[in-house]
Structure 1
Amino acid sequence: MISLGFIVTSLIVVLVPGTGVIYTVSTGIAGSKRNSIAAAIGCTLGILPHLAVGILGISAVLQASAQIFKVIKIIGTLYLLYLGYGLLSSKQKIEINGGEKTEHDGKIIVKGILLNLLNPKLTLFFFSFLPQFITNPNANYFSQMLLLSSIFMGLTLVIFALYGILAHYCKQLFLNSPKITRRIQRGFGLILVGFAAKLAFSED
């Protein structure tokens, strides 16, 4: 049930610099490796409520109508295109000030939770993203969504922790390499657009 497309697309989504990545990287630059892991844990826990709403909402909708399932897949494909285009056209850079400071891990975790918890776009994202990778419409939607969500959260935790730890050890690379960051960002954007095109022409 878990396709390579889901793993690759999830990795791209997690790797793309967003508020959670910026928070984890900045924590790694300003604090310790332990602080970085705490930030990753907080950001990962912060997406739990959005995943729960997405799973319950999608499961109910998909069980009600196969046609609605197709509509959601179309919306999700368009959303992947939107994300890809946003990466290709965005001029946003990660700009973080250097410095050394140590903060209590509990406080860092709470900040990470609130950062993602208060982002309403995440619910829309999971509602439109996860159904793209349900490979067996005849099986239980809830169990499939739960498995996909668990894998996504695991990837989020690992990648964010790596981001923070690498940022701690490679401060100057993150602070002084906007061109490299921009090229990676564009590459992710192209891959997302490619997956959106693949999903658009795939059989249900």
Structure 2
Amino acid sequence: MARLARNDGSWGVIASIAANDGSAAHEIPRKLAARDVVARDFSDTVHALCMLHGQQPGLIEHALRRNAQPLAQDWLREASEAFTVERHYLAQLVAAAGHAPSTPGQAESEAAIIGQHHALEMLAQSERAGCATGAVVALLLDWTVIRRTLDAAAERFGVTPPPLVLPIDAEIETMVMSLGGSPGVERAMAFGAQQLLAQHRGLWNLLDARASARGRL
């Protein structure tokens, strides 16, 4: 990601945002990807991620239906089809993990994730050209980090990870550069990316707090 962040233009801005503000910069995904954490932390993580991104329609589908940037329509459709694989993977992991671990403040945690999901729905349905697309781009870039966490959980729970079929960085870069034709659109795409990544950071912070709460039981 650091290499991509050196590119110029709208792609360079979004790649830099993803590198600096995304899951790769958070301590919890790194700990989980190390595979040496307790099973209940993996279970809590897959349940939370499924609440945020496991529903359909999700962020990409809402962006596709809003169609604020018609030039992105085909690319969004392909991204939606690819993310369906990740959604099924999440469902497999949740089933293998069993119930979410008992944690103080469970109701408040669920309400917080529901609020994050609603915020992403609103972001994806923005009429501001570029906002939803920027959020989708950030999701796909950040998911490569999240996938490492999911694969670590899969190893723990005996699930075989499916191939990662999301668009590669070069394809995303081409799409971003074709859409970022004006300063206004570029700002909107950057805003969408920042907001998506803020929700992910919030989720990791919540999972960190929940793990600490369980450790105090």
Please state which band the TM-score falls in when normalised by the shorter chain.
0.3 to 0.5
Q: Which has the higher contact order (CA 8 A, sep 6+)?
A: 1
TM-score by length of 1: 0.32
TM-score by length of 2: 0.31
